[in-house]
Amino acid sequence: MDKHSKQHILIGFALILFFFTALGLVAASAYLPGLAGEIGRMCLALITSPFLMESSIFFLALTLLFGINGWRRNREGDDYVTLDARGVPVRED
C-alpha cells in the first residue's frame, strides 16, 4: 500500500473510533445517578429510536459529504475545465 492509502485508512479508522467512543460515553452516562442519568437515558433513547437514528445518520453523512467536498475543492481548486477546438478538456490554472 502506498502512503496515501494508509493515511486514508487511518483517517477512516479515527472517525469510526471517535463515533463509537462518543456513543459509548452516551450509553455509559445513562447509568449515572440523578439528573445526569436521566439526561443520558433520554439521549440514548433519542439516539437509538429507529426513525431518529436513521434520519440523524443520514443528515450527519450528508453534512460530512458536503464538508469533505468543500475542503477538497478549496484545496484542489475549481473543477471547471474548458474544451479546446478538438473537444479535449484543458484546465486553466
pTM over 0.95: no
Mind listing the pLDDT tens digit for each residue in 13-62? 998 899 889 888 888 998 999 998 999 898 888 888 888 778 878 888 89
Phi, psi at residue 82, to the nearest 5°? Answer: -115, 155
DSSP 87: S
Where in the chain are the domains?
3-76
Per residue in 58-87, pLDDT (tens digit) is: 888 899 899 988 888 888 776 676 777 777
Cell 429510536 belongs to 49
Looking at this protein, which amino acid is placed at residue 45?
A
